[in-house]
Structure 1
Amino acid sequence: MSPKVMLQLVVFSLVFTMFTAHQARGEKDCYQQRDLVKRDCDKTIKINEPYKPPTAECIGAVKLSDMVCICRILTPDDEKEISVPKLLRLAEECNRPVPVGSKCGYVKSDMNFVS
């Protein structure tokens, strides 16, 4: 095999590996972050309760978390415990806003902060 063909095969293999490795990573895992925010911010985002200002622990949890990812992985069971609009408000107040139009649980965020 000529060196040129060998080099082309190596380059192709590297490019192929890069693309398959990227696909294998898939969706980011932020389930622990979701659980941390749910635990530390329960009084702020609890469904059927008034919105309460976040505690220092809650703010810390939000600042350490990928709020877009958390929104994307919310399940219907999560939404029985927490209010998505309150979660969006909390993210905004902690300077970790979820972009308008992002999927947050089973709703698209439009940043209307209702309870």
Structure 2
Amino acid sequence: MAKLLFGLLLVLAVAGTTAAEGCGGDREDMIRECKEYESFPAEPKIPPSPACCAVWQKADIPCLCKRVTKETEKVWCMEKVLYVAKHCKRPFQPGYQCGSKSN
């Protein structure tokens, strides 16, 4: 019984952390649907799938951009992120900052 209770508390704690992030679901969707189009190497740039673009259309991009760190940028090619955003018809506005990359 104690193990079951501990497991339930652990699940609730993880769910609470994701909810507290505000865009945790968007982050998971982006990883699942867009990683192959947005990760290194910088070339070639491949047009993203409709599923990836659907994630871009609904995602809280400002929230996601606030969470981009130097470590994140070792996996996600920000040049490709800008490419995918534009291709999915949700480009960054001029001067917008996402991680180390600004448009």
TM-score of the alignment, normalized to the shorter chain, above 0.5:
yes
Query: 1:103 is aligned with what amino acid?
Result: Q
Post-superposition CA distance 1:49-72 (Å, at most 9, x none): 521111121111111112233223
Q: C-alpha separation between the residues in 2 aligned to 1:32 and 1:57?
A: 15
The yes-or-no answer on 1:40 pairing with 2:33 is yes
List structure 1 runs of 4+ shifted beyond 3 angstroms.
none
Give the drift of 1:47: 1.2
Q: TM-score, normalised on structure 1?
A: 0.61
Question: How many pairs does the alignment contain?
Answer: 82
Q: TM-score, normalised on structure 2?
A: 0.67
Q: C-alpha separation between the residues in 1 aligned to 2:61 and 2:83?
A: 11
- The structure having more radius of gyration, on CA atoms, is 1
Query: Any gaps of 5 or more consecutive residues in structure 1?
Result: 1-27, 111-115
Which gives a bigger RCO, structure 1 or 2 (Cα 8 Å, sep 6+)? 2
Query: Any gaps of 5 or more consecutive residues in structure 2?
Result: 1-20
- Does the aligned pair in 1 maintain the 2:33–2:55 contact within 8 Å? yes
